[in-house]
Amino acid sequence: MASVSLTDDGLRAVKRALVSRFPDDKSSHLTEALAAACGFRTHASLLAAVRDTDPEDPNFVLLDEAAFLSRRADLRGEPCAPDDEHMLFDWLGLEHGTHVLKTTSTKYHEVDYSKSSRRRAWRNAMVAGINEGLARRFFSLRAGDNRWPGADREPHEQKKAHVYRFAIGDIPAIASLSDAGWDEISVHVALWPTKDAEYWIPAGNAGFHAGELFASGWLERRNGAWLQVSSDSNNAWSFRCRKHRWAEAAALELRPAGYADRGNFAL
């Protein structure tokens, strides 16, 4: 997997790599398949999104391999070869940097959310909080790019967590962000928050003091862009959830906004 900025430079970088990978494909077919990989129905709609994007502060989107291969097969009128389907964007030789971010780490394929409703609920709460922070431009996926109020204080000054409220459909939520060092962001999220949630949400052990679901974790940005997952990611210190909320939280359909929802955990 990889993530690309919605800019001309980002899309050109991926398109050049695709042309090298599939030299016999029509350029127009690869262009349309790339649009599908970025989550757009057509190349024209992708270009419209690029025109509406600030090239100095773009959104990033995960490249969807299944969508790319499906659209490519439709345009070619024949199924993809088995060799085309294996870790496609990981093997393109993309240069990771300003416009293309690495999202697959060595632990990516070891994480399986399907077997645990608790772990899915933790994942969904974390993705919701991170997506909202990105949408509000409190930070970006680029290393060190923290923008929330107070993030630029001098090292000797006390840095407080930034707290914000949002909603996931009808579910009220609250989150906090703080600089964890090494270009990581510490993220805490509570769903169905308590009346004192703003006070409690920055605490690592807030638990039910913050809400009926409390989740905490870290967003990696130095070595790539992913939600760090450890073997303790659904333990009491990082996840608490009332049993009657598990199913609803686990069933949420949320797509990460340009980062992987799983990856290496760093101490």
- Supply the DSSP string of 64-115, one letter for each residue: -HHHHHHHHHHHHTSPPPGGGGSSTGGGS----SSSEEE---TTGGG---TT
Residue 220 within any structural domain of the chain: yes
Residues 22 and 76 placed together within one structural domain of the fold: yes
Average pLDDT, integer, range 135-151: 91
What angle separates helix 27-37 from helix 8-21, to the nearest 10 degrees?
120
Secondary structure letter of residue 207 according to DSSP: G
Provide the number of structural domains found in the chain: 2
Q: Are residues 35 and 145 in the same domain?
A: no
Burial class (CB in 10 A: 0-12, 13-18, 19+), 83: exposed
Between the two ends of the chain, the Cα-to-Cα distance in Å is: 24
Are 115 and 95 within one domain? no
Residues 119 and 226 grouped into a single domain = yes
* Rounded Cα distance, 175 and 24, in Å: 48
Q: What is the pLDDT of residue 157?
A: 52
pLDDT value at 171 more than 80: yes
For residues 98 and 114, membership in a common domain is answered with no
Last residue of a domain, one of 75, 102, 129: 102
Token reading at 231: 């073997």
List the domain range (segments joined by +) for residue 86.
2-102
Looking at residue 156, its pLDDT comes to 45
Output 78 or 53, whichever has higher pLDDT: 53
| String of DSSP letters for 30-67 | HHHHHHHHTT-SSHHHHHHHHHTS-TTS--EEE--HHH
Q: Residue 25 corresponds to which amino acid?
A: D
Task: Tell me, yes or no, whether 89 and 120 share the same domain.
Answer: no
Domain match, 116 and 208 both: yes
Q: Are residues 39 and 84 in the same domain?
A: yes
Is 153's pLDDT higher than 80?
Answer: no
Query: Using one digit for the tens of pLDDT, what is the confidence trace for 10-41?
Result: 999 899 989 988 888 899 999 999 999 999 99
- Contact of 141 with 221, CB cutoff 8 Å: yes
Q: What local confidence, expressed as pLDDT, does residue 228 receive?
A: 92
- pLDDT, tens digit (0-9, with 9 covering 90-100), for 225-258: 999 987 655 555 689 999 999 899 999 999 999 9
Task: Tell me: do 115 and 245 sit in the same domain.
Answer: yes
